Amino acid sequence: MSKKTSYLLGIILTIILGTILYYFLCCSVCCGEGSCEHKEDETKSAVIPEIKDATRNAFMIKDANGDFNLKLNDNFNFKTSNFSILQPVAGDVENGVLKLKDYLLANPSKTVDITGFYKSDEVNNSAYPNLGLARANSVKNYLVLHGVSSKQIDTYGELNDAINPDENSTLFGPLKFGVLTTDASDTSAIEALEKACDAVRTNPLVLHFKTGEAAIALTSEQRQKIADISHCVDKLGVKVQVVGHTDNTGDAANNVVLGQQRADFAKSYLIRNGILEGNIETSSKGQTEPIADNTTEAGRSENRRTEITIN
């Protein structure tokens, strides 16, 4: 073999060896562990978000101790993080509500339970402790407006992460219903309610405002108090009393107007949250009933308030 041939073979072997070493050493450093093919593996192993089918609960109401049994495919629907019933309500649902009304009128010892569901990832923008209770209250108002007595309706809220919205964020029937027969001799429920209502009268819901403002931000305790007020109105037939108060800044006559504006704003807020307008009365005391010293900012802040109670 000539020197020239040996030289060419050496070059070829060097190129082959260099290619092999590059593949196993350099490529693993540049591309990651294993080989450059891991990029393709990453694409293949990419996590695809799970698409869950929307939950569609039927509108079902059955009296286990009677002959009322209603099951409809349609139901009351809601947007996620919202407690207002989506309109329009299906005609079958409206007809079903009228049948329920007739049944309850003929059976005054019967009550219908409405439990609203909510998910843990929803935002509670209602005045109630949770969105489920707010949704149940919206359905209660629908029933009341269609002739069902509020005294024959009980509302509850329940966490239920098993319900899924559709791609448009609509929850179909996040509710369950039941019919119970009340025992006239069992007064424990009404006694507990009257105790809660007396607590509201003794310790009204107090909302505070900055000068010239009428914004409402509720604590969890205040949300529960609104729920108690709503139950008192429904079951005992009492009225909500909303009274606006101010500090002594400015003209006394103007403060009466400001107090009334605050009371009216609170009334609108309660109406949006399911307390019917006819059950709310408003008034203003202006600056005439301070509960703290108006010579200090802290005292004036306490006096700028709206008190919500029941009669």
Predicted pLDDT at 33: 47
Q: What is the DSSP letter of 56?
A: B
Predicted pLDDT at 7: 60
Q: What is the DSSP letter of 151?
A: G
Residues 240 and 243: their CA atoms lie apart, in Å, by 10
Predicted pLDDT at 93: 97
Predicted pLDDT at 233: 94
SS3 178: strand
Averages of pLDDT over each 10 residues, the chain, 311 residues? 60 64 55 50 56 91 94 97 96 97 96 97 95 97 96 96 97 97 85 92 87 71 94 94 95 95 92 91 96 95 94 91
Torsion sign, CA atoms 31, 32, 34, 40? negative
Predicted pLDDT at 236: 93
Torsion sign, CA atoms 153, 203, 308, 133? negative
